[in-house]
Structure 1
Amino acid sequence: MHDLPYLRGYPDTLRQQVQQLLAAGKLAATLAQRYPQSGHDIQTDKALYDYTQVLKRQYMKSSEPISKAVFDPKIHIINNALGTHTQISRVQGGKLKSKNEIRIASQLKQLPLPLLRMVVVHELAHLREKEHNKAFYQLCQYMEPAYHQLEFDLRLYLTWQDSGSAA
């Protein structure tokens, strides 16, 4: 069985099923069936910031503000996850000011919108919960009830993309 880096940590039986779908050339069709609408309009940093702000206002009004949400071409998906959330502290006139930034791998611009939403939800959840703990995943599911399925599907999508089958 080939190494499936996006599916590390999943049971071998599941990884074998994905490997079979890949070998039969059926993974793309499976994903297309789940996500028939492949494109979206969120292609710029401004559009990503606006989209992130809408979700934040809807689910996390009382959380700290976000100063930036951008697509980052420097993020390497396997090594650095799908996106990052950073809190930058600066001294400004004797006071410590912090800014929250969300950076999402540029490669994810091509995702179906539900998968991009899952990544944005994940990074927004880090405003309240820094660790990937039970409270973090509960918050993710509050903002996106299908969070776990979407995360798995994103891993399938990335696996298909890396397989060389993606055009």
Structure 2
Amino acid sequence: MEPLRYLQGYAPEVLESVRRLIARDGLADYLASRYPQRHAIQSDKALYAFVNELRQRHLRNAPAIDKVLYDNRLDLTHRALGLHSAVSRVQGGKLKAKKEIRVAALFRHAAPEFLEMIVVHELAHLKEAEHNKAFYQLCRHMLEDYHQREFDLRLYLTWLERQA
């Protein structure tokens, strides 16, 4: 029985269901039926605008984001699909922190729902550093079906891994 590394922690019956889907080569069809579109956000500038629009809509009091970009160095092997960071620098005797969000380049060609889920996840880290109950409540506040999209994203990553 092949391990499903992106689905660890799910109930055994869910894993068995996924294994059956894989065995009958139905994973690609399932994903295509649920997520038939690809988004048009191809440039870092467009991604920045998308992230800021979501931040304005859901987290008005969160700090401004200074930089948003697709990062080719984030990939499945590093298990990082997105990254948020605060880069601190001293400027003229003052400490300035610049907030950055990096999204794995593989999402340049993914469904818009997956890109939105990754961005929501990284935006939630502006308020909650840890993956705790409050963090996931914030994610659900911004994206009602966050958990379903996260599960489907894990299926997508499983499919990508099997294609490689």
**TM-score, structure 2 as length reference:** 0.95
Deviations 1:34-61 (A, max 9, x none): 1122x11111111111100100111111
Separation in 1, partners of 2:75, 2:156:
16
Deviations 1:55-93 (A, max 9, x none): 011111111110111110101224332111001111111
Q: Does structure 1 residue 88 correspond to structure 2 residue 91?
A: no
Q: Does structure 1 residue 23 correspond to structure 2 residue 23?
A: yes
Deviations 1:14-51 (A, max 9, x none): 112111111111111111111122x1111111111110
Q: Which runs of 4+ in 1 moved over 6 A?
A: none
- Percentage of matched positions with identical amino acids: 51
Separation in 1, partners of 2:23, 2:55:
40
Does the CA-based 8 Å contact 2:55-2:123 persist in structure 1?
yes
Separation in 2, partners of 1:29, 1:6:
19
Q: 1:51 is matched with which residue?
A: 50
- Aligned residues: CA RMSD: 1.2
Q: 2:65 is matched with which residue?
A: 66
Does the CA-based 8 Å contact 2:75-2:106 persist in structure 1?
no
Secondary structure at 1:88's aligned position in 2? strand
Secondary structure at 1:43's aligned position in 2? coil
Secondary structure at 2:41's aligned position in 1? coil
Does the CA-based 8 Å contact 1:89-1:99 persist in structure 2?
yes
Separation in 2, partners of 1:17, 1:80:
24
Judge which range, 70-79 or 108-117, deviates more.
Answer: 70-79
Separation in 2, partners of 1:139, 1:109:
25
Deviations 1:116-138 (A, max 9, x none): 10000000000111111111111
Secondary structure at 2:52's aligned position in 1? helix
Q: 2:3 is matched with which residue?
A: 3
Q: What is the one-letter code of the residue matched to 2:148?
A: Q
Q: 2:111 is matched with which residue?
A: 112
Residue 103 of structure 1, CA deviation: 0.5
Aligned residues: 164
**TM-score, structure 1 as length reference:** 0.94
